[in-house]
Amino acid sequence: MNKNFELISDYIKKHCQADDYVLRVNSSDNHETRFAQNRVTQHIAGANLSVDLTVSFGEKSGSCSVNQGDPESLDYLIRTAEDMARLNRPDPEFMPSVGAQELPQTQNMDAATRDLAPARMVEIVQQAIDKATAYGASVAGMTEKHYWETLLNTKNGFVGTDSATEFGHSMTLKKDNVETKVSYSAKDMKGFSLEGEFAQLASQAESLKTMKDFDPCKIAVILRPSALEELLWFMGWMMNRRQSDEGLTPFSGQIGQPFFGKNFTLKSTLARPELYAPAFDREGVASRELTWVENGVLRNMPTNRYWAKLKGLEPMSAYNAYMPGAHASEEEMMQMVPRGLIINRFWYIRTVDAKTGELTGMTRDGVLYFEDGKVRNAVNNLRFNEIPHLATRRIVAMGESGLASLHSCLPTTLIDGFTFVDKTSF
């Protein structure tokens, strides 16, 4: 355990007088090298500490946070949390802290990424700038690395620690009237290739040179992993057991039912080493293999400890997203439908109707139109209105699953009859 974490934990254990407590300590070291218009603009770096304490007397709880681990700050933390708890009303959904439990072995930290020098980050940025200059374009973006450690400790005996790293690199390229973006996000930088990322960026830019006006309609789409990730995260936020049991989502009463498309499976897994997988969640529930949807059948939904106890269920959290794919290439997908659109990304996704699961959002970073198996031209950005779980029923084909971010491993997916409702001007 981090020595500072151990000192903080021992101090709270010795001085906290509450009936129960939950201590969360997070330490992070963050570096971000930003660039724009083919020049480095800033390097932001700094270490941060967050100490959060929730205490309870009976069913009355109080919380406080500080950003220092010295005795004076910890005394203030304990005193303020305890005073708030004594003044508070009993919590009708109070849950005592979790006790000791067996946690899975996870590996989320890469030492080479943790120790990546700022000079090397600036070098990566300069290489990206040099490539953009040679291409006759301007580029903006960020190279970043993050290292964090986490402690969760309770009066009832739970002790859990985790450490993790993240490496990221994003580039937005502008040339004439073309603008497009690529990004990389992973636990480590082993799989990162600036040459590969810039080649993809230039390929996207070339494909966007010939732009034609396109009217919104229902049409087949090939969603690349980053676009699919956006849809699934928003759908996942509605896949909440309590909200569904209370009739507030489209998943109400659907456990065990074939509610999704038969080609759709979604999991949270400890078995994919490229995915971030914490050993425990914020409540201290141990992570385990979880299947949310299996061949279209809704098996489980995230459930917190209170609702799980009330309903006689097992608590569970969605800590990452893995969607098994297949073996179709984009070229093969384009042969499977008469025409369609290739979508790089979505953004500005918002809920239209939480009870039906309808979302709206816009395309970004380039939309390609294909017909008779070939890309014909780029088209303007479009706004969609779509219900993701219904869209999974129209999955025609999938590619190999690949890293969309350190939290998601997803396949490029062909979906028929995707609904676009308007053009957008950006």
pLDDT one-digit tens code per residue, 158-206? 999 999 999 999 999 999 989 999 999 999 999 999 999 999 999 999 9
Q: What is the mean pLDDT of residues 280-299?
A: 97
pLDDT of residue 425: 79
140 forms beta bridges with 172
Model confidence pLDDT, tens digit, residues 257-266: 999 999 999 9
Sheet-wide strand order for 39-57? 60-66, 39-57, 20-36, 138-154, 159-175, 178-186
The kind and range of the H/E element at 125 are: helix 118-135
Is domain 3-201 annotated with CATH 3.30.2290.10?
yes
Residue 282 has what pLDDT?
Answer: 94
Domain ranges, ordered by start, for the chain? 3-201, 210-426
Question: In this structure, what token pair is assigned to residue 128?
Answer: 């990206």
377-399 average pLDDT score:
97
Contacts of residue 294, defined as CB under 8 A and 6 or more positions apart, other chains included, come to 265
Nearest Cα to 382, choosing from 411, 360, 352, 412? 360
Mean pLDDT of the chain: 96
DSSP bridge pairs for 369: 341, 377
Predicted confidence (pLDDT) at residue 1 exceeds the cutoff of 80: no
Roughly what angle, to the nearest 10 degrees, separates helices 118-135 and 194-207?
30
Asked if the model's pLDDT at residue 332 lies above 80, the reply is yes
